[in-house]
Amino acid sequence: MKKRVDVLIVGNTTYDEIRYDEGGRVLYRIGGGVFHGSIIFSKKSDINMTIVSNLTPHQHLFYKQYLDDRNIIAKYTNNVPFFKLVYGEKARKVYLELKGQAIDDTLVPNMHFDIALIIPVYHEVSYNLLRRVKSISKIVALDLQGLVRKTDEYGRVYLVSDASSFSFVKKADIIHATYEEIRAFTGKENLNEALQTISDNYGDKIWIITESDNIIWIIANSKIYHEKPPSVKPVDETGAGDAFLTAFALRFYETFDVFKSVDYAKRVVAHKITRPMEPLIEI
């Protein structure tokens, strides 16, 4: 009989307003890496998934479609992050309308986990919380996104790194980032230079770097590798990076094989992005 894997996922759940072509179709959805990372595997009998998040009562009801109430550890509040995502022809603009509140360190349960996924959306996870999670988890996987985000005076999100993001990375075993996020993290605009900087300074970690349908970069044992992305026509890529990180961490825990884990994560993401996510409201 296959051993059950205990997984902890920490980060805020969001509401996202998604606009297409500056005035076109508008969707409202639940979002955040915790949501996208947890629901894919929540119904697998060999995975016990626990989330720690700030939630509205409505979000809690949505989670209950996927998780047992005992696996939802939350502070209930209306002060959760609200993002506005505007898609144009060439780029996506992200605005933070409401930051939301930090996650209370005391919400982390007093038990041990095989894998912990830290997937912040905007600086809601404290370093003390991360240290607590590290002490009770065999593997810690971290998404870089919420650590390198800042906002300008208009609420538009841009990427920049600071000392806290370096401290977080040092506590993690596996890190996922996008091309733009590692450029921000390293301060290197050239992608090859950014990859080499990570290899030179943080090569003892496993890095998975994805960007839509571009090459997947992997850094392990201070060496840089690359893999082809999934060869599918995407319908909805929302949460693809979160799904990749979750799937990779799960398979890596089972195999300790980086490339088998990448292959498995590619299959999971290919399945996810070829199926539409249902919006909460469509206008």
Q: What are the residues whose beta carbons fall under 8 Å from the beta carbon of 161, sequence distance 6 or more?
A: 147, 148, 184, 185, 186, 187
Q: What is the pLDDT of residue 2?
A: 63
Establish how many alpha carbons lie within 13 A of residue 62's alpha carbon, considering only the half-sphere containing its beta carbon.
19
pLDDT digits (tens, 9 = 90+) for 199-243: 999 999 999 999 988 999 999 999 999 999 988 887 878 889 999
Q: What is the pLDDT of residue 191?
A: 97
* Mean pLDDT, rounded, for 107-117: 96
CA distances to 92, 100, 116, 181 from 189, in Å = 19, 30, 31, 10
Q: What is the pLDDT of residue 281?
A: 43
* Mean pLDDT, rounded, for 98-113: 96
How confident is residue 283, by pLDDT bands cut at 50, 70 and 90? Answer: very low
Q: What is the pLDDT of residue 23?
A: 62
Q: What is the pLDDT of residue 194?
A: 98
pLDDT digits (tens, 9 = 90+) for 5-17: 999 999 999 999 9
How confident is residue 147, by pLDDT bands cut at 50, 70 and 90? Answer: very high
* Mean pLDDT, rounded, for 256-278: 90
Q: What is the pLDDT of residue 282?
A: 42
Lookup result for tokens 């996202």 = 16
What percent of the chain shows pLDDT beyond 70?
Answer: 95
Q: What is the pLDDT of residue 237?
A: 81
Q: What are the residues whose beta carbons fall under 8 Å from the beta carbon of 117, sequence distance 6 or more?
A: 7, 8, 9, 10, 33, 34, 37, 141, 142, 143, 245, 246, 249
pLDDT digits (tens, 9 = 90+) for 41-75: 877 888 999 999 999 998 998 888 888 888 999 99
Q: What are the residues whose beta carbons fall under 8 Å from the beta carbon of 20, sequence distance 6 or more?
A: 26, 87
Q: What is the pLDDT of residue 70?
A: 81
Assess whether pLDDT exceeds 60 at residue 167.
Answer: yes
Assess whether pLDDT exceeds 50 at residue 182.
Answer: yes
Does residue 219 or residue 275 have the better pLDDT?
219
* Mean pLDDT, rounded, for 161-167: 93
Please check whether residue 49 is in contact with residue 9, taking contact to mean a CB–CB distance below 8 angstroms.
yes
Longest CA span, the chain: 55
Residue type, 232: V
pTM above 0.85, yes or no: yes
Assess whether pLDDT exceeds 80 at residue 37.
Answer: yes
How confident is residue 88, by pLDDT bands cut at 50, 70 and 90? Answer: confident
Tokens of 124: 């809601």
Residue 53 φ then ψ, to 5°:
-160, 160
Assess whether pLDDT exceeds 60 at residue 102.
Answer: yes
Residue 246 φ then ψ, to 5°:
-65, -50
Assess whether pLDDT exceeds 50 at residue 164.
Answer: yes
Chain-wide mean pLDDT for the chain? 91
Tokens of 248: 């990779």
